[in-house]
Structure 1
Amino acid sequence: MNDSTHPPALVIFDCDGTLVDSEVVAAQAWSEHVAGYGVQLSAEEALARFRGVSMTWCLAHIEELRGSSLPQDFEQDLRALMARLLEQQLQPINGALEMVEQLHLPFALASNAPHHKIELCLRVTRLLPHFAGRIFSAYDVQRWKPDPALFLFAAERMGVDPGRCVVVEDSLPGVQAGLAAGMKVVALQEHGVHQDMPDSVQVITHLSQLHAHLV
Structure 2
Amino acid sequence: MATVKLSLSFVSLSPPSSSSSAQSKLSAASFIPNATLAKSRFMGKCLRAKPIKSIEASRSGEITCSSPATTLPSALLFDCDGVLVDTEKDGHRISFNDTFKERDLGVTWDVDLYGELLKIGGGKERMTAYFNKVGWPEKAPKDEEERKVFIAGLHKQKTELFMVLIEKKLLPLRPGVAKLVDQALTNGVKVAVCSTSNEKAVSAIVSCLLGPERAEKIKIFAGDVVPKKKPDPAIYNLAAETLGVDPSKCVVVEDSAIGLAAAKAAGMTCIVTKSGYTADEDFENADAVFDCIGDPPEERFDLAFCASLLQKQFVS
CA gap 1:173/1:213 in 2 versus in 1, 3 angstroms: same
User: 1:80 is paired with a residue of what secondary structure?
Assistant: helix
- Distance (whole Å) between structure 1 residues aligned to residue 193 and residue 203 of structure 2: 11
**Aligned pair partner of 2:159 in 74, 79, 89:** 79
**Aligned pair partner of 2:173 in 92, 111, 119:** 92
Larger Rg: 1 or 2?
2
**Aligned pair partner of 1:50 in 118, 131, 147:** 118
The alpha-carbon deviation at position 127 of structure 1 amounts to 4.0
Partner of 2:74: 9
Identity %: 25
Q: 1:120 corresponds to which letter in structure 2?
A: A
How is 1:65-214 mapped onto 2 (pairs within 5 angstroms)? Answer: 66-68=134-136, 70=140, 72=150, 73-88=153-168, 89-103=170-184, 104=187, 105-132=189-216, 134-191=219-276, 193-208=279-294, 209-211=300-302, 212-214=305-307
CA gap 1:214/1:163 in 2 versus in 1, 3 angstroms: same
Deviations 1:148-192 (A, max 9, x none): 011011111111111111111012111110011011110001457
- More helix by proportion, 1 or 2? 1
The alpha-carbon deviation at position 44 of structure 1 amounts to 4.5
Moved more, 132-141 or 115-124: 132-141
**Aligned pair partner of 2:105 in 23, 37, 49:** 37
Contact 2:78 2:84 in 1 (8 A): yes
The alpha-carbon deviation at position 59 of structure 1 amounts to 1.4
- Distance (whole Å) between structure 2 residues aligned to residue 174 and residue 161 of structure 1: 19
Deviations 1:7-29 (A, max 9, x none): 53221111111112322311111
The alpha-carbon deviation at position 32 of structure 1 amounts to 3.1
User: 2:259 is paired with a residue of what secondary structure?
Assistant: helix
The alpha-carbon deviation at position 200 of structure 1 amounts to 4.1
Q: 1:78 corresponds to which letter in structure 2?
A: K
Contact 1:39 1:66 in 2 (8 A): no
Partner of 1:22: 87
Contact 1:22 1:86 in 2 (8 A): no
- Distance (whole Å) between structure 1 residues aligned to residue 160 and residue 180 of structure 2: 30
- Distance (whole Å) between structure 1 residues aligned to residue 282 and residue 87 of structure 2: 23
Q: 1:31 corresponds to which letter in structure 2?
A: N
* TM-score normalised to structure 1 length: 0.85
Contact 1:90 1:124 in 2 (8 A): no
User: 2:232 is paired with a residue of what secondary structure?
Assistant: coil
Contact 2:251 2:268 in 1 (8 A): yes
The alpha-carbon deviation at position 122 of structure 1 amounts to 1.4
Number of matched residues? Answer: 214
CA gap 1:182/1:90 in 2 versus in 1, 3 angstroms: same
The alpha-carbon deviation at position 34 of structure 1 amounts to 2.9
CA gap 1:33/1:60 in 2 versus in 1, 3 angstroms: same
Q: 1:20 corresponds to which letter in structure 2?
A: V
* TM-score normalised to structure 2 length: 0.60
- Distance (whole Å) between structure 2 residues aligned to residue 200 and residue 19 of structure 1: 18
